[in-house]
Structure formats: C-alpha cells, structure tokens
A and B are shown apart, each in its own frame.
Chain A
Amino acid sequence: MKFPGVSEFSWRDVATEARLLLIGIPVFLWTMIPIYHMFLFAISPKEDAFSGKLWPDHPTLHNFEIVFRQQHYFLRDFYVQFWNSLVIAAAVGALTLFIATAAAFSISRLKVPGGRMVLNLALFTYFIPAAFLAVPMYRTMGNYGLLNNHWALILAMVTIASPYAIWVLKQASDKLPVELDEAAVMDGATTLQIFRLVYLPLMMPSLVAIGTYAVLLAWNEYLYAFLLLSNDREITLPVALGNFLAADDSPWELLMTTGFIYALPPAAVYYAFRRYMVGGLTAGAVKS
C-alpha cells in the first residue's frame, strides 16, 4: 500500500478497480444525462436541439442572449419573475429562521410547559405530505384574501419549512451544555441576553444549515407557487417554466436555457454550504 507501483501490482487489485468502474460509470451517466441534455439545449440553436444531436454543430450563447434580453413572448417578465423567486426565497429563509430559532430556544433551553407537545405537533406536520396540505391551503389562502399575493406563498412555505427547522434546531440546542445558561444567569443575564449573546453564536452552524434549507425549499417549490400565484408578474420562475408547456410549439431550447439559469443558484448555494448541509441536515434527517 505504501508504494503503489509495479512492485505492488496485482491482478486482484485490477479486478477490484474494474468492478468499481463498472458501477461508477453507469452511476455517472445516470446522474449526468438529464443535466447534460438541459445544458445541450441551452447552447444549441433550435435546429440542432430538435435533431437529436449529442453535440451541436454550432454551439452558441444566443439562447442566453434571448433570455437576458427578454426577447420572447414567454420570457417578457423574466427579470420580474427571477426577482420574485429571489425575494420569496429570502423572506422564507428569514422568517423560518426567526420562528424556528425562537421555538427551539423556548422548547429546548427554557423548557416551556407544553413544549414537548408543540414539538410533536410540528413533527406531525413534517410527515404530512406537502401535496396533501396544498388543497386545503389553497382554499384557506383564498379565505384570507391572499391569493396572488407573495405573502401567500411565503407563509405557506414557512409553514412547510418550520417543522423540520424546529426539530433540527431543537436537537442541536439539546447538545449545548446547560451550564452555559446557568453561568449566564449567575452573571445576571436576562433571557433575551442569553438568547442573543450565548445561544445564537453557538448555534451558528445549524442556523446556516437551516437557513439554506428553507431558502432552497422555497426557491425550488413548484406546486404551491403555481396554485397560489397566477398573475404573470407575480409568479416565480418555476411557474413560468411550467407555463412554457401551454403552447404546442414550445421553444424548448429557451425553456431549457431559462431552466439552466434557474438551476444554477441553488446548485451553487448547495455546494458552497455543503459542509454545513451534510453535517447539519443528514444528522437530523434520520436519527439512527
């Protein structure tokens, strides 16, 4: 093992490596084909895209130019819709963090009476499939007079994101030593000071993970967005992408280009915060 070279060469190692490659190559292809296909469309002129080529004869950035200049009927509100997606995702992230951190601090550190029950209710909501809640949620938002208003989507996504957020943050809070709070109380700190000066700094890694989770959840959401928002200037990007399908002769190369642009930010955020995501979320996702 120390000198991987000719002296260590053995047919057994080669066979193991070959077997691993036999798994690795299909895994790579399976993962990349839909994404590559999307990218291929984004850099292909329409004729090339529709003729099933695996690489365009004349790769071009023209599609991106059309999208960024909003030069198509389906794209005339591209920037507004991009902005909508951004604002809604940011608002959902901020609100979820606020609500969930407050609740987790209250349940885990202040041991509020009934906290355990609230946690169970939240957990219960987490397990109810979101698509099932969508039907009554749509009607409820109508009753509240919020349909076609960004607040409808923001509040719906906060409702869906906070149970998991509370649960993960509560697990993380439980791991902080209780002596910290006791010492702070001894020093005469008020509850709010403990929250601000002791609790929040120590919880930072989990807060980053949960904030990222909520932002990505909101940015990626399709079902609630298309139920709750319908006006062309109010909808988010995924709804706009779905609307491309309304026409029989959809400009698929533009659809894929817009989709590619839409997919970049969450992928970038995911990889940037991967360290936090893997540690913070998978540990909480399933307790083994």
Chain B
Amino acid sequence: MAITLSGDQSIPAPPLSPRLTPAQVWGIALLAPYLLVFLAFVVYPVCYGLWLARAPSNYVALYNDPIFARAAVNTLIFLVIGINIKMLIALFLSGFFAQQRTWIKWLSVIFILPWAVPSIPTILSVRFMLNPEWGVINHLIFSFTGDDGPNWLNDPTVALTMAIGVHIWKSLPFWTLILITGRLAIAHDLFEAAEVDGASWWQKFRFITWPSMQTLYITCTLLSMIWTLGDFNSVYLLTGGGPADLTHVLSTLGIRYLRLDQLSLAMASIVCAMPFVLPLVYFMMKRLSR
C-alpha cells in the first residue's frame, strides 16, 4: 500500500494511483457491479445463514427429526439412482440422435421441448395425470381392466419414483444435447476403420466411443448431481413432500423448515449437506478451470 512519490510533477494527467494504469482502473470499475452483487447477495446471506445455524442444538434437533433422515435418504436415492439412470439414457439417446436421418433431426427438435418449456405447468400436468379419481392414467387402467388404478402419489416409494421421472423428463434433453456434441467430436475415420475390421457395435462403443467420451460423461454426471441437489420443483410441485412428509429431499426440506419459521433448522439442514457438496464443487472447479 506504500505510495511511491514521483518527483516529477510535470507529467500530464497523473494516474489515480501510481501502480495502476488507466486500463486497470477501468478494469476495477467494470468488475465492481458484480463484486457488489456478490457481496450483498452471496457473501452476506451465506455468512448470516451460517451464523444462524451455529448452535449445536440445531444439529441435535435435526438428528432427532425422522423427516430429516428420510429426506437425506431420499436425496441419496435421487442422486445415485436417478441421475445415473438419466445419464445412461442420455448416453444411449445421444447415439440415437447422432444418426443422420431427416426424421431423427425433426424428432430432436421436438425432444428439446421439455427443456424449453417452464417446469411448473408440465409438472402439474403430470400431477393431474396421476390423480387417482380423475387422472387419465387411472381412467385408462379402468377402461382396460375394470379395476381401479393405484393411488399413485399416496405411496412414498411410487411418489418419489414419479418425482425422479419428472426430473428425468425435464433435464434429459439438456444432457443428451451435451453428449451429442461430445459424440460428434469423435473423428469419423475411427469408426470407418473399425467397420473395415468387422467390429461389432459393442466393440465400437467399448473401444472408440467410450474412451473419447468418458471424461465428458463423468463431468456431466457430477455436475448433474450437484444441480439436482437444488431441484426443488420436481418434488415440491408433484408430491409437495407428501404423503406424510416422506418424499422430501434436502432442498424441499429446507423450505419446509423455513415455512414453519424454523430458520436455524433450515440452515442447519443445508450445512449438513455441505460435506458432500463442497468436495464435488471443488472437483468440478478443478475440472472446468484448468
């Protein structure tokens, strides 16, 4: 911070600070709006939230709350099973959409729709399809079998599965699109050479496609896991956390505590997720900023 005095006072338009060029002053000025937003709406809330969650009694209360344990398990199921199924389907479909056919090109335009439309109306649409009395699914079951269909969202396992299904419906196009770009980047003559050698489709996948795509695939899977932790809509709008608060995930649980005016519990539940989130975030940052 030492200011070096320049003996020569005759220099026209002295810089604001002897160590900064005008370009650097502009640089700081242009960076300032984001820094202000970051300080006011990221740093302050996070610090304030951590301060609210500082009392150990919060964590005891969480530990004793069966809904928290259930939400943690649900979140794990959502991430480990749901995301891996989604990414496997995306990997498979990226191969399908990479085929050169006019009708597949048109289908890919339609396939993007779930990602392009807002999730609220479509999730509510699915919710009504699953309505036990009026929904179209149970009407069809009744007209084919004469039996009443199940009360879909009243069974926690089925309800959570449906929430995962809604999540997959919404975000599958995005990840498929990313994996298609990865697939199209593979040099085509590799496949031609394999064709000449009489390789089966599995051998082509195992020895050409997968080795060139595995980094991208794993990055996508981790990124999707981090983001899915924040997927509030799929669970909240489909099941509302019910029946009997058995289908909550961490993101809806935080909001549930907030609405019950238990802000410190809400923050504590988020703090509990951090040991899992931060290593993933650290890993992703390493990957993306090399």
Contacts and interface: CB of A to CB of B under 8 A. Distances in A.
A136 B131 CA distance: 35
A183 interface: no
Given A118-B31, A129-B226, A159-B37, A123 B118 contact: no
Nearest to A223: B232
A27 B93 contact: yes
Interface size class of B (residues with CB under 8 A): 35 or more
| Size class of the contact patch on chain A | 35 or more
A63 B119 CA distance: 21
Interface in B104-135: 104, 107, 109-114, 116-122, 124-126, 128-129, 134-135
A286 B38 contact: no
Interface stretch (A34-42, A74-82, A203-211): A34-42
Interface residue SS majority, chain B: helix
Nearest to A28: B107
B120 A241 contact: yes
Given A24-B104, A34-B126, A270-B116, A288 B215 contact: yes
Interface string A255-266: 110111011001
Interface stretch (A64-72, A100-108, A172-180): A100-108
Interface stretch (B6-14, B45-53, B63-71, B189-197): B45-53
Contacts of A144: 40
A34 B114 CA distance: 9
Nearest to B19: A113
Quick one: which of A103, A238, A256 has the most chain B CB within 10 A? Answer: A103
Interface stretch (B80-88, B177-185, B203-211): B177-185
B140 to A, nearest CB: 7
Given A110-B27, A127-B226, A140 B41 contact: yes
Interface in B13-39: 22-24, 26-28, 30-31, 33-35, 37-38
Contact of A135 (B125, B229, B263, B281): B263
Closest 10 pairs (CB-CB, A-B): A52-B139, A129-B230, A259-B121, A112-B27, A136-B49, A131-B251, A110-B27, A136-B45, A270-B116, A102-B30
